[in-house]
Every structure is written in C-alpha cells, then in structure tokens.
C-alpha cells in the first residue's frame, strides 16, 4: 500500500521524477530568448508602429503565456506530475480567461460610455498640454491631435 | 514519471495513499499558490480595467528609462530586463537546489540556496532603487509627475497601481528570501539529512518559482503594454 513514506522515498531517490538538469538549463535559455524577443520588440520595434499597438500587445500576451507555461511545467515540475494534479491547477486557471475578458471589456465599455456622455471629460483628457521644458528623460513630443492617443 | 499502472488502472482514490502522488504539504502549497495567483490576478486585472477605461496612459519607454549610476540616461526597459534576468536566474538555481536535494547532496543544496538568496536580494535591491528613483522624480501613491503618451494630462492611477502591485510582489520576494534563508539554515544544521528527504526545499522552491512567475506578468503589464 502506498503511504506517505513510500511516496517520500520515490521522490527522494532522484529517479522518481527523473530530475533532468539538461531540461532545466534548456528551459532557462528558452525563457531568456523569449524575454529578449519581448524586449527587442518593446524597445525598438513597437515604438515606431503605434497604430499596431494592439497587435504587439497580443504578441506580448502570447510570449508571456509561453514563459508561464515553461516555468510551471519545468521549474515547478507540474508537467511531470500525475494528470489529476495537473487538472486541479489547470481547470481553475481557465477561470482567468473569463476574468480577463469580462473586466477588460467592462473597462472599455466604461471608457466608451463616459466619452459619449461626458464630453468635458473627453476633451480634458485628450487635449495635450503644451510642454515648455522637458521633464527628466522626456523627449519633446510633437503636439499630436486630440484623440490621437493610443 | 512515477511508478505507473502495469495491468489495470492504478486505484488512486481507494485511500491509504495520496491520490495526486505528492505529499500533503506539496499539494497544499500548490493550492495556496492558486489562491495567491487569483489575488495577483485580481490586482493586475483591476489595473487593466482602469487602464482600458482611461483615455491615456504614461508611456513605459519614457517613464522607465533610467539605469543606476548612469545619470541622466535614456535606456528604456534595460534596467527592468536586468531585474527579470536576475529573478529567472535565481529560479534556475532554486531548481538546481531541489535537484541536489533529490540526490541528498547537502553541500550542493547549500551552494544553490545561497545563490538563490543572493539573486532574491539583488532583485529587491534593484526594485528598491527603481522605487527610490521614481520617488525622486516626484512619483508616489497619489502623485504622478509623468504625462500620458501624447502629452495629455495623466491621473494618479498609474503610480498608485505601479507602487501597489510591485510593492505587493516585492513583499512576496522578501518573504521568499526569508523562507529561503530559513531553508538554508535548516539544511546547514542537517535537519533534512535527519528527516531523510529534502521535500521542504521543494515546497520552498514552488513558492519561489511562483514569485518569478508573477514577476513575468507584472513586467509585461507595466513595462510592455
């Protein structure tokens, strides 16, 4: 009969889970590569294509989820655990899909409604302030048309 | 994979053993991490909601462009990349510590736990510098000196969310470092050798990886979006 003692022993003698040092190092390089891609896009590519911001955000989400998958599956070892355990984590996590969609949709709707019914708010928050002296690290932006914000 | 069924399915739910093939403490750590994931998720999603409801928001490439000891420089996102690298590297050393624990190699566990603690402290130092630098520029809860992208007037939502969420995460890093130090002391004193297993290190490892995982999302939400 499998007790805590036998489970403990199989975990302790190393090949209960086949601790794979190579896979860990490989996962590190994958995470580093994904992070570098995100940073290159975020620092050098995206600033030049502001109209495509939504597309870049989708890309960041996909890359971040990929990183999350690797950290959970390899570093936290969940990829090698028994299926039922994986499910107790994965199934509740699906709630996040609803959570994120519902609340961002709500936020967006609030924004739309407020702009529609509160034109003063709309004008106040979309009219650029003319800058006389640049703030620390701040480059002089050209004054853009109101509403041209991302 | 663990010893799997040979002929006929393994009866996992008959009692007398863990149905998930892990010890109780490890399972409970996973469930705690789930709850913490929803807490952080709630914070980050509320940040997303407020941002979506706003007409403008500061540009991270402008706000986060400094580097320690580099004076008035403009290096967007470089410093936060260093922070991300430090935390991921400390996660790797934590996994290696767990691996050494599997092999019952006390010296190996000590070595990698020390590296993990150093990584955690380095990250905290970096975050403290980031906070201090932003504070010097006039940013704090209730104070936002940065204009939105496009130079429209900004609100304090930006700084409120930034300091709250990175602060909450930093608090988790701090508690993780404390836990890791306790694990290190227990390892040095031979507690796990006497027990015959290093499962405590594994549980501490899960918490540390979680902290790293949250940072990946915080970094994306505040610095990339």
Give mean pLDDT, residues A45-69.
Answer: 89
Best probe of the B interface among A18, A70, A82, by most B CBs < 10 A, is A82
Determine, for residues A139 and B74 on separate chains, whether the beta-carbon distance falls below 8 Å: yes
ipTM of model? 0.85
Asked whether B209 and B94 are in contact (CB, 8 A), the reply is yes
Q: Which residue has the higher pLDDT, A132 or B7?
A: A132
Determine, for residues A68 and B213 on separate chains, whether the beta-carbon distance falls below 8 Å: yes
Q: Does A93 touch chain B (CB under 8 A)?
A: yes
pLDDT of A17: 45
**Is position B4 within any domain?**
no
CA torsion sign for A33, A34, A40, A43 is negative
Dump pLDDT digits (tens) for A79-106. Answer: 999 999 999 999 999 999 999 999 999 9
Q: Answer yes or no: is pLDDT of B93 > 90.
A: yes
pTM, two decimals, is 0.85
Considering only CB atoms, which chain A residues are within 8 Å of B98? 19
Determine, for residues B148 and A149 on separate chains, whether the beta-carbon distance falls below 8 Å: yes
**Is position B181 within any domain?**
yes
CA torsion sign for B194, B195, B197, B202 is negative
Give mean pLDDT, residues B76-104.
Answer: 93
Closest CA to A43 of B80, B95, B141: B80
Determine, for residues A19 and B99 on separate chains, whether the beta-carbon distance falls below 8 Å: yes
Give mean pLDDT, residues B196-221.
Answer: 95
Asked whether A75 and B91 are in contact (CB, 8 A), the reply is yes
Residue A129 DSSP one-character state:
P
Least confident among A141-145, B88-92, B203-207: A141-145
Give mean pLDDT, residues B168-185.
Answer: 98
Total number of domains in chain B: 1
Closest-approach residue (CA) in chain A for B4: A82
**Is position B56 within any domain?**
no
pLDDT of A132: 64
Dump pLDDT digits (tens) for A110-138. Answer: 999 999 999 999 999 999 987 666 555 55
Q: What is the average pLDDT score of chain B?
A: 93
Asked whether B25 and B198 are in contact (CB, 8 A), the reply is no
**Is position B28 within any domain?**
no
Smallest CA–CA separation between A29 and chain B, in Å?
Answer: 10
> What range does the domain containing B147 cover?
73-224
- Scan residues 2-41 of A and list those with Cβ closer than 8 Å to B: 2-4, 6-14, 16-19, 21, 24-25, 28, 31-32, 35, 38-39
- pLDDT band of residue B74 (cuts 50, 70, 90) is confident
pLDDT of B75: 81
Q: Does A129 touch chain B (CB under 8 A)?
A: yes
Q: Answer yes or no: is pLDDT of B221 > 50.
A: yes
Smallest CA–CA separation between B147 and chain A, in Å?
Answer: 9
B100/A58 Cα distance (integer angstroms): 39
Q: Answer yes or no: is pLDDT of A144 > 50.
A: no
Determine, for residues B85 and A35 on separate chains, whether the beta-carbon distance falls below 8 Å: yes
**Is position B91 within any domain?**
yes
**Is position B40 within any domain?**
no
Selecting from A85, A111, A149 the residue whose C-beta is nearest the C-beta of B53 gives A111
* Percentage with pLDDT > 70 across chain A: 75
Selecting from B2, B16, B73 the residue whose C-beta is nearest the C-beta of A82 gives B2
pLDDT of A134: 57
Residues in chain A: 150
Determine, for residues A3 and B17 on separate chains, whether the beta-carbon distance falls below 8 Å: yes
Residue B24: HSE in the Cβ half-sphere, 13 Å Cα cutoff = 5
Asked whether B21 and B5 are in contact (CB, 8 A), the reply is no
CATH code of B80's domain = 1.20.120.80
Asked whether B222 and B162 are in contact (CB, 8 A), the reply is yes
Q: Region of A77 please: left (phi>0), alpha (psi -120 to 50) or beta.
A: left
pLDDT of A6: 45
**Is position B13 within any domain?**
no
């Amino acid at each position: 009969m499998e007790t805590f003692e036998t489970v403990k022993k199989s975990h302790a003698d190393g090949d209960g889970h086949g601790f794979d040092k190579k896979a860990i190092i490989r996962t590190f390089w994958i995470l580093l590569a994904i992070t570098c891609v995100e940073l290159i896009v975020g620092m050098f590519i995206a600033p030049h294509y502001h109209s495509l911001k939504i597309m870049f955000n989708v890309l960041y989400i996909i890359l971040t989820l990929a990183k999350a998958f690797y950290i959970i599956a390899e570093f936290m070892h969940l990829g090698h655990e028994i299926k039922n355990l994986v499910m107790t984590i994965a199934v509740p996590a699906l709630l996040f899909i609803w959570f994120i969609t519902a609340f961002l949709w709500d936020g967006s709707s609030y924004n739309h409604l407020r702009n529609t019914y509160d034109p003063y708010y709309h004008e106040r928050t979309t009219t650029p302030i003319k800058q006389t002296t640049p703030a620390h690290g701040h480059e002089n932006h050209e004054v853009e048309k109101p509403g041209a914000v991302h | 994979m663990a010893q799997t069924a040979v002929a006929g399915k393994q009866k996992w739910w008959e009692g007398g053993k863990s149905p998930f093939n892990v010890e109780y403490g490890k399972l409970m750590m996973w469930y705690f991490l789930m709850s913490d994931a929803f807490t952080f998720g709630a914070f980050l999603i509320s940040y997303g909601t407020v941002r979506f409801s706003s007409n403008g928001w500061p540009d991270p490439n402008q706000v986060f462009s400094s580097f320690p000891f580099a004076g008035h420089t403009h290096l967007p996102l470089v410093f936060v990349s260093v922070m991300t690298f430090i935390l991921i590297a400390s996660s790797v050393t934590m996994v290696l510590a767990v691996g050494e624990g599997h092999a019952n190699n006390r010296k190996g566990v000590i070595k990698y736990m020390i590296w993990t603690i150093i990584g955690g402290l380095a990250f905290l130092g970096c975050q403290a510098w980031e906070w201090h630098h932003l504070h010097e520029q006039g940013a704090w809860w209730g104070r936002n000196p940065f204009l939105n992208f496009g130079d429209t007037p900004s609100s304090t939502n930006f700084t409120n969310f930034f300091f709250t969420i990175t602060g909450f995460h930093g608090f988790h890093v701090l508690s993780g470092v404390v836990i890791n130090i306790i694990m290190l002391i227990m390892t040095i004193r031979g507690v796990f050798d006497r027990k015959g297993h290093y499962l405590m290190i594994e549980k501490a490892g899960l918490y540390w990886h979680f902290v790293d995982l949250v940072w990946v999302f915080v970094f994306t939400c505040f610095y990339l979006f």
